[in-house]
Chain A
Amino acid sequence: MNVRLSVPSGIFIILLLLFSTGCKTRKITITFGTFAGSAWNVQNPDTYKLYDRIIADFERIYPQVHVTYSSGTMREDYSEWLSRTILEGKEPDIFLILPEDFNLFAEIGILNPLDTFMKNSSVLPGCIFFAPLIKAGQYNGRQYALPFECDPTLMFVNTTLLEKEHIPFPSENWTWDDLLAICAKITKDTDGDGVIDQFGITGFNWETALYTNRTPLFSDDGTGGLFDTDGVYDTFVFLEKLAAISGGQKVPDFDSGRVAFDISAYSFYRAYGYYPYSILKNNNFTWKATVLPRGPHGMNAAQLKILSMGISRRSRHKKEAEALMEFILTNASVQTKILEQSKGIPVRKDILSRNYVRQIFVKDISRKKDEISTDVLFMSIDDAMIIRGFRRYRSAVSMIDKELTDIPASGTMLGNFLSQINIKVNAYLAQ
């Protein structure tokens, strides 16, 4: 009897031992969704190096977790690839979310809410983050994404041209009126042939102007347009004044050296402001980046593009995915690597303030006097208007883009025109 009992008991004990040993050694594999190259459509050969480094460092701290990713998907194909994996129920546990995809993914409920994770984290409260980047990952009052990196909009200034015209470099709280005054002074026919050949600004479109006037075009819930507000009206009056300075003449590229200001992304500055790519740009003038001028209702900041991270609601390894997310957000080495190796800015604000990080800009910059100021970066991120996105935001903007670009003369006509656009947008959003 004892013998008969002991055999199954022995087998049970052996199985238990095997199981417990297996449990101890079995690694959990989580998948990380990402793409090749820069999120910001500039050259960046180092993205895999960055991801491989992050994963290797994470796995050293969490040896029981293995992180894998499918390499190769191009940025332009990433949304489609990710959408397909979602439809097939095979999406990665944790994945990067392009700026244009966040609203859709939040709305369809594929993203796991991160509020509890953030509340329970012991390390997140110890870090100082750029607040707008955190806010941008919220949807209907809940946090669904956290930032990997961001790309603020900057004003590029041809300092050679400004010096030639004896115009001081604009201050960091300059206004639309200051911009209009400088553009009026700069714009001229320099060779006396009767044709304007020196210009104030290029690239300042209606969307950028609205951002600098902190004027949203749509209601937060995406149910209606706000085109009939004073802020929108003032913005288009300003744009008309700006266009009038060049007399409707086509403004050449900033690279021509004949334009004082250009609106562009930080990533562009990082990619082309340094050797070796800087030699592909015009070297006949020096330039420097600064903040954008603010409108009467706005701040000195414009659009802020954010590459976020989200965790699948269906992931079976949410804890491990959250650990990776927390590691990326808080680890100083990772955050510094993002600044060095991607063309974006990481979420930890204190990283940018560190002296050794400032050396990244100074060391690589082609001409030291073109050094970008971290104050400019802080302002461009901290003061950026985060648009409360909704699913049809981009399609609504696309629908009205041409009409707003070719807007008619101001006065009563402009008011009527904007009202008509508002009616059109409301009808579209009500569909």
Chain B
Amino acid sequence: MHILHNNGIKNTSVTKSSPRAGFRRTRTTVLKQYMFLAACLLPVLSAFCSCSAREPVKRHFVFGATYMTMGNPFFVYLNDGIKGIVEAKGDKLVVLDPAMDQEKQNDQLIRLINQNVDAVFLNPVDWEKITPALEKIRKAGIPVINIDAPVKETELVNCIISSDNRKAGMLIAQDLFSRRKKAGIIVLEHPSARSAADRAAAFMETIKEKKQYTVTARASSDGLIERSMTEMKKILEQKTGFDVVMAINDPTAVGAVAALQEAGRADGILVYGIDGSPDAKRLVAEGKMTATVAQSPVLIGREAATAAYTILSGRQVERQILVPVVLIDKTNIAAYDISRWQ
């Protein structure tokens, strides 16, 4: 069982801080300076500082979270789902953004180990290259709740909570069958993220038996709107024939729509995304995107937080929790709130 401890942040005794050589002041002035500094900063730090030694110490958990990029609103809302539960219990969540850089994410995990966090919510940038940092975190005895995109070495995490990614890919393929008897398809993927790889793989497997549906180009968007637009522009320059774009997430789909629109090639092209983001739903409602398979980042976040507390209380959690997905197109969009995530 994990031992509960203080918040992991040193309770710095301000009056005992010794002035460094750089300060050319008398000791009294320096002490005053520090006391003033503490008075100014303590409200900010109230969440960190523990109670005085005479009072019974209220133990709080500190959680760490690192997502592949907070530039994707999906992770902002997923984080909100976790944060809502963690903060309601008076605990703390330290969120770090590696901005799609696995080396930075590995460094961030080491930082979280050094901060003695009680558990980590992890969404890896690269499902393989995360392994060395995961091994260290396992060695430190810190539970890992793997969210959205599974890691390769699944025995190094306590549980995996994600959308039913394979189902998302299948739903797009089935919807495509209902709209087009044949199609030339661009797949905008993100192979280093397992969630995206599963979506693309399930899509490819579903269309495999139908020869009239062919993939004419594949490119990696890293799940980012800007990179998707760049890749889509390259494809357009190569004059590849296509009439469908299958994007592994909504930012990728939006990037593709932008490239198509800029090139004046949007007419007659079906564009699919996955996420169910407000942006994509609006584009579906406006007829600029064909459909988006909706995930529920807030629900994934809540499930993840619940799993973390279950693990910290010494109880077992399911190894894998799949959150259902649903396809949203013009026929059913009225049933969803366009301005929010589900």
Residues of B within 8 A of A (CB): 9-10, 12, 14, 17, 20-23, 33, 36-38, 40-41, 44-45, 47-48, 66, 69-71, 94-101, 104, 107-108, 111, 224-226, 228-229, 254-255, 257-259, 261-262, 279, 282-283, 288
Contact = CB atoms under 8 A, between A and B. Distances in A.
Contacts of B279: 280
Interface string A394-410: 00000000000000000
Closest 6 CB pairs of A and B: A72-B96, A276-B258, A36-B97, A276-B229, A45-B71, A71-B104
A88 B224 contact: no
Given A87-B41, A276-B225, A314-B22, A45 B69 contact: yes
Nearest to B42: A87
Interface stretch (A78-86, A182-190, A226-234, A374-382): A78-86
Interface string A262-287: 00000000000001111110000000
8 contacts: A44-B71, A71-B107, A72-B66, A74-B96, A87-B14, A89-B12, A275-B261, A278-B258
Interface string A27-63: 0000000001100000111011000000000000000
Interface string A65-109: 000001111100101100110111100000000000000100111
Nearest to A112: B22
Nearest to A312: B22
Contacts of A87: 12, 14, 37-38, 41, 45
A79 B225 CA distance: 29
Nearest to A49: B99
Given A72-B98, A276-B259, A83 B41 contact: yes
A424 interface: no
Nearest to A36: B97
Contacts of A316: 20-22
A108 B57 CA distance: 30
A43 to B, nearest CB: 6
Given A72-B66, A86-B37, A366-B262, A45 B100 contact: yes
A70 B262 contact: no
B66 A110 contact: no
A36 B69 CA distance: 10
Contacts of A213: none
A276 B45 contact: no
A315 interface: yes
Contacts of A110: 37
Nearest to B279: A280
A45 B40 contact: no
A72 B96 CA distance: 4
B101 A71 contact: yes
B236 to A, nearest CB: 13
Contacts of B94: 77
Interface string A314-326: 1110100000000
A72 B20 CA distance: 28
Contact of A280 (B66, B69, B254): B254
A276 B95 CA distance: 27
B28 to A, nearest CB: 14
Contact of B258 (A47, A80, A275): A275
Contacts of A366: 262
A84 B45 contact: yes
A44 B20 CA distance: 38
A245 B271 CA distance: 44
A80 B46 CA distance: 10
Given A72-B96, A88-B12, A276-B259, 17 more contacts: A37-B70, A44-B71, A48-B99, A48-B104, A72-B97, A72-B98, A72-B111, A73-B97, A74-B95, A74-B97, A109-B37, A275-B229, A275-B259, A276-B255, A276-B257, A278-B258, A316-B21
